[in-house]
Structures are given as structure tokens and as C-alpha cells.
A = this chain, B = another copy of it.
Amino acid sequence: MSFVSVNIESGSETPVKLTRRALAKQRTRERVLSAARRLFSERGYEGATIRDIAQAAGMSTGAVFASFSDKSELFDEILTADYEVIYAQMKQAAREGETVADALLGLFGVAYSFHLEQLPLLQASIAVSWTRSDAAEKRARTDIKHLFALITDALERGVQAGELKADVDAKLVAEIAWDVYVANYRRAVYDGWTVENLVAHLREQLKLILAGVRA
């Protein structure tokens, strides 16, 4: 998947034949990730300890630490895997939109559909994003950069199509759209909004945001 190869900066992932030992290691990682995903969803980031996760995965904490250096790395790994899953879908949805607004609603709609299926994990990830280390923030920004580029691409296609002003600050518009998109999840959490509710609200918000930059 292109997202993965962009994300790995050295581009060193040549296909290798996994040895039996490497395969076992990979299976261990997967078991840990699966247990961690479940526990983070159920208890939030702070509420799930490495000890709990090891127990749920049926292994020792030492075995968990052989695969992951700490809880933060484990959590990041889950989120990165999720970004990889939705990136291709968001990209396609953006390309199918005829107008800028449709492209943006398409890509954000994919994200809403995906995250509403696992809302507690999303809540934990947003909460963590406010209190993580600088290193963890840097890793997260690398992931988000690719999603963010889909937004600026859609805006730039709007400029080329003559829909938006030529001098639009695509980065600034994308940032506002992103902030609003994220904040809307609060409505899903506390007001029970569905994907349809979120997309309808975002449509109104984008209409207002784009009004000032139309050609």
C-alpha cells in the first residue's frame, strides 16, 4: 500500500522470506495488538496497563515488552494500522467528489464511518493526543500528514477547476476543516450523533468555510 511506503522514510521494506522465528514474533505482535485494541477501547488509554494487556493476550509482560518498548508505542501502532486502512478509502472518496465540498465530505465521511464503529478507541486517541510526549506527537503528525495532504489536494483541484480563488491558502483552509471535523466527534460521543448527522453538520460548516475562498 502506497501509504505504508510513504510512511517508512528509508523505503527499506524489501520483501523478505520470514523465518519460523520471525513468523512467531509477528504472531505475538498481532496477539498483543489485538488484546490492546480491545482493552484501550473498553478502559481508555490510562485505564489499560501493559500488565492487563499481557494477561488478555495470554502472555507475560516480558513477552509484550519484547515486541513493544512501552504502552505509548503499542497505542501508536494500533492507530497507525487504522490510518493505513482508511487512507485508501478516503483517497478514493475524495477523488469521486465532483465539487470541493463533495470531495471533502467524502473523505471525512469515510473517517466518520470508520471511527464511529470504534468510538471509545477514537476518544482515547484524541485524549492522549493532548498529553503525549513530543516524540509521540511527532510520530502522530507523520501519520496525519498523509490524510491532511488529501484535503489540500482536494482544495488544489478546486483551484484548478476554477471553483476556488487562485490565491487560496490551502493549508489554512485544510487546517480549519480538520479542526472542525475532529471537534464534531464530540457530538457522536455525548449526543449520540450518527455518521449522517455528522456529515450533514460538516456540510454546513464547510459551506461557511469555503464561502470566503470561492472564485
Residues of A participating in the B interface, judged by any CB pair closer than 8 Å: 44, 46, 123-124, 126-131, 134, 137, 169, 172-173, 175-176, 178-180, 182-183, 186, 189-190, 204-205, 208-214
Report 26 cross-chain contacts, Cβ distance below 8 Å, ordered by A residue. Answer: A46-B46, A123-B130, A123-B131, A124-B130, A126-B130, A127-B127, A129-B186, A137-B190, A169-B204, A169-B208, A172-B205, A172-B208, A175-B205, A176-B176, A176-B180, A179-B179, A179-B182, A182-B183, A183-B183, A208-B209, A208-B212, A208-B213, A209-B212, A210-B212, A211-B211, A211-B213
Q: From known contacts A46-B46, A212-B210, infer whether A190 and B134 are also in contact, taking CB-CB under 8 Å.
A: yes
Residues of B within 8 A of A189 (CB): 130
> In whole Å, how far is A137's beta carbon from the nearest beta carbon of chain B?
5
> In whole Å, how far is A64's beta carbon from the nearest beta carbon of chain B?
20
A130-B186, A169-B204, A208-B212 given; name 17 further pairs at CB < 8 Å.
Answer: A123-B130, A124-B131, A127-B128, A127-B131, A129-B186, A134-B190, A172-B204, A175-B205, A176-B176, A178-B183, A179-B179, A179-B182, A180-B180, A209-B212, A211-B211, A211-B212, A212-B213
Q: Which 4 A-B pairs have the closest CB atoms?
A: A211-B212, A212-B212, A46-B46, A179-B183
A interface, over-half SS: helix
Q: Which residue of B lies closest to A137 (CB)?
A: B190
> In whole Å, how far is A191's beta carbon from the nearest beta carbon of chain B?
9
Q: Which residue of B lies closest to A47 (CB)?
A: B46
Residues of B within 8 A of A128 (CB): 127
Please report the C-alpha to C-alpha distance between residue A172 and residue B204 in the assembled complex, in whole angstroms.
Answer: 8
Q: Which residue of B lies closest to A184 (CB)?
A: B179
Q: Which residue of B lies closest to A182 (CB)?
A: B183
Residues of B within 8 A of A183 (CB): 175, 178-179, 182-183
Residues of B within 8 A of A172 (CB): 204-205, 208
Please report the C-alpha to C-alpha distance between residue A178 and residue B179 in the assembled complex, in whole angstroms.
Answer: 10
> In whole Å, how far is A17's beta carbon from the nearest beta carbon of chain B?
41
